[in-house]
Structures are given as C-alpha cells and as structure tokens.
Amino acid sequence: MSTKYICPMHPEVQQDNPGTCPKCGMKLVETEMKMDHSVMKYGEHMMKPASEMSFWEKFKMSMTMTMGMEHGGLAGREMAKLMEEDIRNKFFFSLIVSIPIIAYSPLGEKILRIALPAPIPAAWILLILTTPVFFYSGWIFLYSTYQALKQKTLNMAVLIAVGITAAYAFSVLLTFLGSSDSYYEAAALLITFVLFGHRMEMKSRRGTTDALQALFNLVPPKARVIRGEKEIEIPTSEVKLGDILILKPGDKVPVDGEITEGETAIDESLVTGESLPVEKRQGDQVIGGSINQSGSVRFKATKVGKDTALAQIVKMVEIAQNSKAPGQKIADRFAQYLVIVAVGGGLLAFGGWYFILGAPILVALTFAISTTVIACPDALGLATPTAVAVGTGLGAKHNILIKDATTLEQVSKIQAIVLDKTGTLTEGKPKITDVIAVGGFTEEELLKLDAATETKSNHPLSLAVIEEAKKRGLIIPTKIEKFNNLAGRGVEANVDGKHVLVGTIKLMKDKSIDVTPLQKEIEKLLSEGKTIMILAINGKVAGVAAAADPVKENAKLAIARMQESGLEIAMITGDNQKTAEEIGKQLGIKRIFAEVLPEDKAKYVKKLQEEGKFTAMVGDGVNDAPALAQADIGIAIGAGTDVAIETAKVVLMKSDPADILRAIRLSKATVTKMKQNLFWASIYNLLAIPIAAGVLYPKFGISLRPEWAALLMSLSSIIVATNAVLLNRAEKSLIEV
C-alpha cells in the first residue's frame, strides 16, 4: 500500500513527497492507494466530505484556497462546498465588523454624523477592528496574489490585493504617525463587497453542482456480490470487474454490467431520460444508478468506478463547466492587460494629483485606490464561466451532454446537419416483415441459413433475422466456418457445407449473382421503404428477407422544426437508394446520401463543409465515428456505441432527434448571455475608471471614495452572475420543441 501526495483540486498532480500544487498552490494531501468507503473518491484521490471535517481541518483547507479554483470530481465538489461555506463565513464576519469600522471612521464621523465613545484614539480602534478583517476575510485574495505572482501571471486577485493592501497599509502608517486620517473602512468594505460578489457567483453555480451530486447519489453505497458461492454485501467502491452481482426488486444498480441470469424491467429514466422501464434479459446491459423494477437477476460487472456510464456523464459535465469558451479566453487576456492598466492608472492618478496638481497626499491616495479598485476586472472573469455553468447544467437536466465550453459556443453556428438513418431517425430495432424464397428453398430453410450466417454479426439487421428465427422456433445451425463481415454490404460464411452470402443488391452484382428471379419482389419491397437482405447459396440467388425499422415517433416534427429554423438537413445511410428515398419522403428530407459505405461517410460530411457550411453529424454506431470526427460538431445518440460517444462533442442521452434542436437553442441562449455579460463587464470598467481617477472632480466635484468604488465593482459581478442565472428562462423553449 503506497502513499501519494495529491492535489485536492487537480487529482492528476501526484507525487511521492509532500509539497504544493504547481497549478493552484494548494498543499498536497497525503493519501493511500487503497480506497476507504468513508471518504470521497476521485480517481486516486481521497477527501473527507465537508460535513465530516472538524473546524481545524476546514480552517487549514481554507488557508490554501485560491480564487478561480476548479471544482471537478467528487473531491472537487466537496471542496466547492467547503469554499462556499468559507466565503460565506468570511463575508458575514467582514460585514458585521465593518459596521463599527464605519461608525469610528472619518466617513461615519464627518458624513454620517455618528458619535461613539472612544476610550482610545479612533484610529487605533479602527486598526484593531480592521486587522482581523484584512488577514482573515481578505486572506483568499492575498494568498491568490502570492500564487499568481509566483506563476508570473496577473489576475483579478492581484488587483483586489493591491487595493486592500494599499488602503490598509497606508492607514496603519498614518496611525503610527499619529494622524487621525485613515482608509480602514475602504479596506474593510472592499473585502466585504468583493466577498459578497463571489458568494453570489458561487450560489449561481451551486444548482448544477448539486445536480451532479444528485446523479452520484443514485449509486447505492452497498452491492450484493457472489463471493465463494455466497451472497455477501460489500461497499460499491470494492466491486471489481467480472464480479457477479445480484439485483432484487427495488434495488438500485451499483455498477454497469451485463445480465447473466434472469429477466426484469429496469427504470433508466434518471440516467437516460427514457420514461418507460426497459425490459432486460440475459445478454442485455444494465446501467449503474438505474432502478430494478420487478424481477431478480444476476449480472457481471463490466465497468466500475470512474469508468461507469454515470461517472462519465458527470465527468463530461464537469469538464464542460471548467473549460473556457473562446470568448472567455479573449476576456482573460483583456483582464490581464486591465490589471496593468488598473495599477498603472492608480499610480498615474496619484502622481497627477499629488505631484502635478499639488493635492494633499490623502486626496491623491483616495483617487489612486479608487482607480485601482474600480478597474478590477472581476466581472470579466465571471462573464462566461457563469453562463457556461448554467448552460451545461441546464443541458444535463434535459439529458443533453456538451463536452466543453468551446462546443457549447460553437453549436449555435450549425448550418447543416447530416443525420444517420438507422438508430438516429429510426428506432434501430428492425423487425423482419417478409421472407421470400426461390430456387426450391422454403422460408424456414432460408431463415435458418440466414440466421446462422448472421450470428457473428451485431448489426441491427442481423439481430432482427436471429430474433425472427427464434420466434418461429427454428433450430439455427451451429457449424459455421469462414465467416467474413463485408462492411456496409453484408456477410458471408460456410454453413453446414453451404456457402451463404447475405447482403445488398450491390454485393450481389459484385459477386456476379443474378437476382432476376426476385426482381419484382425486390422493387415492391423497396417501394415500401423496407430494407432488404438478399440470400445467395452456393452462388445462386435463394431468396430475400425484408425488414422494417419504424421511424421514431417525433423524428418528422423535429426535422420540420429544424428546417423552419433555417437548418439544412441531409440523411446518410448504407441502405438502398429507393429505401432511403422512401424514408426521406416520410420525414421530409430531400437531400439523401444512400448506399454509402462506412468508410465513406466522412467524405459526405466534408462535401457539405466544402460548400461553406458549418456542419454537424449525428450518429450512433461504430461506423459513424469517422464522420463524427470529421464534422465541425459531432453529435452522438446516447443509446449508441461507446466509440461514437467518445468521438462526439455532444451526447443526446435520450436518443431523441428533437434534442438536436434543443442543443442548438441552448447554445444560442448561452452565447447571448455570454455576450451580454462581456458587454456589461467591460463597459462598466471603461466608463468608471476616468470617474474614479477624478476627471470630473475639478469641474463638477464628483468623486468616488474607495469603498463606493468597491461597491460598484461588486455590483457589476452580481449583475453578471444574476444575468447568467436568467438563462434558466431558456428552459421553456427547450421543452416546447
């Protein structure tokens, strides 16, 4: 059992010796590689839940927190709770102590006309009151500045620290020099207002964080496992790959797996969004976090821990929330320059008023501190992260998973959408409707040979044939040799000494098989929109099987709505041209790419891109992965394969075509909020800096004391955070698709 030192915020930072995180400066936490169920787990990191920490443990953690920390993973979410609690405590402490500070300050005495008894000089009372506010409540800004300067970067914390330190340090100097003048109240109120702004920002993010935690709460703490032919109960964290688990009615599924024994119905609504329980039998997959409804089953664990579908969902949302949109990257660069402008502006304001205009040092310092404070780009730093947090959380609520902030922003640019047919527009569960035999063969013989040939394929059509053979009570031959999967065209194998070829018309032509005996039947089946599988035995056509794959219930309406929105819709499929055109006719899709081999799907996506269109590809299968990667935005149907989901940038968990439009609407609403926030944050700074510097003071007598500058700066952050939260209003438009 080895000991590692790991960063609570960045679990990828691991080392064998104590130290600090190079990314955030937090003290690395000692942990053992063996997991304990009583702690929160993220990768290889362990952390106690915040509720179980002592006051001293919380205090030590709070001393290493920095502004802008990411809160990914279970440990990260616990840290977010701890940070919110710490910010709240520091805010209320600062607020309460600031009341007597104002009362004893020149502001309270000269402007507010407050007269309190002073057993010692007021300046010393203010020093005693402000010092704990500065070092306790203001510590997060001071420590963040230390870490930023150590990494040779400038951020909002640097400006805040400069402002509060200038006000506090100069006041201390004046107090020791015996002066009654000071800026203690400016330092205290600046800390109070900024903490208030950050508290509001954290509250705006909390809804999504809580939603993610609720997802993880779906996983039961205990699991029933077969060990040594006995049923025992163990912590879910100790379940291993290959373990056989038992599910009884009402149990929550602890990990992902495959049913090995029994039948049941499982409610997957909380994970996939599907409202009706899904029938499960031997060979079917179960998802951790879903609820077993009726039967008792046994299943083998295929994915545990961070590899489960639920963990991947949460991880995807977290990555999205902690990533930066292109607009935010620009804002961050602007903010760095604004830090220089703020500090430089403060120095210029001081120099101009003191050295050029001859103002008293206190007046010059007032303008300098106000300029530095008002220029703080705190709102710029919140502009897009708050919108991204709310947007990705809203998407997750509706089973739309967006992998990063860049994707969330780019989805709004989609102009053309290429839709895979099977499994995307159709149910992906075709049923055999017709079996026609020629050449002296019977339907039963045809089905048996077809089913035997298809047993080594997992294509939906193969499964339909096998299901139909079983339904008819046919015994499927088991002597299968030389199986060959002919990608996009069919399959072939030797069954009981016969060479069986199953596939498309094109495959038959390529193999020089004459299909004339079936020509009329083939044309009739294709005109009905059915998918056909032609069988050839020992080089001669033997019959045809047809399957119908029902179009998804709301696919036609979803496509109509997308077209009304100005989107160009195309359908791509490996199906026969006539079948594809019939399905396209049903759905109102005019642009059809049919008889497309899997390896060629990406070419058709590229064709649309070459036409100058920002293109999305929507698919669910392994053969869709290259096209998903080629597209500007790859969208995977959640019921599809892991490969498709890994390749895509957006995952639709409900497999609902309408969710494509929902994702686009969500993106547009989020981008609008980003732009609004960036405008309010930047225009505020540009307009307020000259006023704070005293440009209007000589002629109009208008000035901003540091504490009022701090209030206005905090109000801009609050406006930005509140505006982001208003994104929840977009939920109505998502539902109404």
DSSP for residue 477: -
45-47 and 40-42 as β-strands: parallel, antiparallel, unpaired? antiparallel
Is 256 marked active-site? no
d(CA 599, CA 471): 34
Q: Which residue has the tokens 């499960």?
A: 280
Confirm if 619 and 420 have CB atoms less than 8 A apart.
yes
- At 340, list the tokens: 């220089």
- Total Cβ atoms within 10 A of residue 568: 17
- For the four alpha carbons of 360, 366, 368 and 371, in that order, the dihedral sign comes to negative
- At 627, list the tokens: 């096209």
531-537 and 498-503 as β-strands: parallel, antiparallel, unpaired? antiparallel
Integer distance in angstroms from the first to the last C-alpha of the chain? 54
Q: Which helix (H) or strand (E) holds 682?
A: helix 658-692
d(CA 59, CA 87): 12
Confirm if 45 and 73 have CB atoms less than 8 A apart.
yes
Residues contacting 607, CB < 8 A, separation 6+? none
d(CA 220, CA 234): 11
d(CA 333, CA 337): 7
Confirm if 87 and 192 have CB atoms less than 8 A apart.
no
Q: Which residue has the tokens 């995807």?
A: 316
d(CA 24, CA 322): 14
Cα-based angle 414, 671, 330 (whole degrees, multiple of 5): 105
- Total Cβ atoms within 10 A of residue 229: 5
Using only the alpha carbons of the chain, give its radius of gyration.
33
615-619 and 633-637 as β-strands: parallel, antiparallel, unpaired? parallel
Residues contacting 337, CB < 8 A, separation 6+? none
> Which of the residues 378, 420, 549, 656 is marked catalytic?
420
- At 461, list the tokens: 């059509």
d(CA 666, CA 234): 42
> Could you give the residue numbers annotated as active site?
420
